[in-house]
A = this chain, B = another copy of it.
Amino acid sequence: MDLDLIRDLVVKNDTKIVLLVIDGLGGLPHPETGRTELEAANTIHLDRLAADGICGLTVPVRMGITPGSGPGHLALFGYDPIKYQVGRGVLEALGIDFDLRRDDLAARGNFCTVDKDGLVTDRRAGRISTEASAALCQDLRGVSLPGVEVFVEPVREHRFLVVLRGKGLAEGVSDTDPQRLGVPALAAEPQRPEASDTARLINDFIGQARTVLADKHPANMLLLRGMSKWPQLPQMPDVFGLRAAAIAVYPMYRGLAKLVGMTVLPTGTRPEDQIATLKENWGKFDFFFVHYKATDSRGEDGNFDAKVAALEDVDTIIPAIRNLKPDVFMVGGDHSTPALLAGHSWHPVPFALWSPWCRRDKAEMFDENQCALGGLGVFPATGALPLALANARRLTKFGA
């Protein structure tokens, strides 16, 4: 979707739009019953919404592409995730709620194992525990670089975050992960002239880290990837004319919302806390992104029944949202996470939109098969937000 087109057509009014993202929403049929998680779950409120509204299946990135959380959400926010890519370092920082600033350079780190000749023997250092990783991060904080502050934060298992804070840091430094074994870690190389000082700092960091880690087998070395700065994405208030708010429990989703200019609201950890936050802030914003995580987590666990239970859990908050009488209410997912695959997948994702003008279709239940028959068909997820704006009467006619 061309954001310049949308920007030119946007008008403001006092409508309210709610987007509920049920993370990892779509699934695959259980081999014994032939029913997907959504088909197995007793979700009467979601089914009612599907029956009252118009349905479809969203393609988050492109046919066949399995998205991470970043691309999956950006698409639902209206941003083509191929055009607007966010570096891994930045995503890692968002994911642990690191207070990343506009001029910081963030990198994703892996602790790894090298042999006596410095050749990589395990790119993940045997997936050391998060606790072991945290201790090593503490040690690495002793590294000192000229003119920049260094932050090292554990993420999970062998993964950690490095942030350099200072003036003149530039993107355009290559990864040091050789992506294979039996070779040394690569040097960070500048990929454009203005990144040469930054590459030198990164290599200085790695050199000192090598000494710090030398006797810390199995995590006796590190690899850095995705050196990146806060991306300059078009902001939702500017492009879509929406005062947008995020009500999300997990740092990654709050971070993604921040990237596109949403106000991130403090909230509790339970769905009912999120509903309370929604009610309290109802008058202050035009657009609310409400994020529900457990469906994805249970899908990632490969636990079909627990994912069904999570769907039934999120179903209970639907009436409270509808009772607020949003002008447009959308329910979708950033990607599918079938319990059978125990991970994200490429399958198009169920989507339902209700508004007084939605043009109700024949889909009567909120599941993969009914949504496939819906009035929206199989469509790019980037179309959801413009569709919501249209249903909120926030887009004028294109052309005379």
- List the B side residues contacting A390 at CB < 8 Å: 64-66, 345-346
Contact assessment for A29 and B360 in the assembled complex, using a CB-CB cutoff below 8 Å: yes
Contact with B along A333-364 (1 / 0, CB 8 A): 00000101101111110000000010111100
Q: Is A387 an interface residue (CB 8 A)?
A: yes
Which listed residue (B64, B70, B378, B400) contacts A88, Cβ 8 A?
A: B400
A239 within 8 A of B: no
Known: A82-B2, A362-B369, A369-B375. A398 touches B28 (CB 8 A): no
Q: Is the interface of A mostly helix, strand, loop or mixed?
A: loop
Contact B63 A383 (CB under 8 A): yes
A29's nearest neighbour on chain B, judged by CB, is: B360
Shortest CB distance A157–B (Å): 15
Rounded to whole angstroms, the CA-CA distance of A63 and B390 in the bound complex is 9
> Which residue, of A226, A343, A373, A398, has the highest number of chain B Cβ atoms within 10 A?
A398
Q: Is A365 an interface residue (CB 8 A)?
A: no
A396 at the interface (CB under 8 A from B): yes
Cβ-defined partner of A28 (8 Å) among B92, B357, B400: B357
Tell me the bound Cα distance from A40 to B226 in angstroms: 56
- Given known pairs A369-B375, A372-B362, the reply for A346 and B395 (CB within 8 Å) is yes
Identify the closest chain B residue to A369 (Cβ): B362
- A369-383 to B contact mask, C-beta < 8 Å, 1/0: 100111111111001
- CB A77 to nearest CB in B, in angstroms, measures 14
Partner of A379, one of B95, B108, B378: B378
Given A9-B65, A359-B28: A399 and B341 within 8 A (CB)?
no
Contacts of A400 in B (CB 8 A): 68-70, 88, 91-92, 95, 108, 226
Known: A346-B387, A400-B88, A400-B92. A5 touches B65 (CB 8 A): yes
Instruction: Assess whether B65 is in contact with A386, with CB atoms less than 8 Å apart.
Output: yes
Q: Among B88, B368, B395, which residue has its beta carbon within 8 angstroms of that of A65? A: B395
Q: State the oligomeric state as a number of copies.
A: 2
With A and B bound together, what is the CA distance between A369 and B398 in angstroms? 25
- Inter-subunit contact A81/B357 (CB<8 Å): no
Tell yes or no: A210 within 8 A of B by CB. Answer: no
Residue interface mask A273-304, B partner, CB < 8 A = 1: 00000000000000000000000000000000
Confirm or deny: A218 has a beta carbon within 8 angstroms of a beta carbon on chain B.
no
Contacts of A384 in B (CB 8 A): 63
Question: Is B375 touching A377 in the complex (CB atoms < 8 A)?
Answer: no
- Give the shortest distance, in Å, between A240 (CB) and chain B (any CB): 11
Cβ of A51 to closest chain B Cβ, rounded Å: 12
B399–A81 touching, CB < 8 Å: yes
A397 within 8 A of B: yes
**Can you give 30 contacting A-B residue pairs, CB < 8 Å?**
A1-B63, A5-B82, A34-B360, A57-B377, A62-B383, A62-B386, A63-B384, A64-B383, A64-B385, A65-B386, A65-B390, A66-B390, A66-B395, A67-B398, A68-B400, A69-B399, A70-B400, A91-B400, A92-B400, A95-B400, A226-B400, A338-B357, A340-B357, A345-B357, A345-B390, A346-B390, A361-B368, A372-B373, A377-B377, A378-B379
With A1-B63, A92-B400, A372-B374 given, name 12 new contacts (CB 8 A): A2-B62, A68-B399, A91-B399, A108-B400, A226-B400, A340-B357, A348-B377, A361-B368, A361-B369, A362-B369, A377-B377, A377-B379
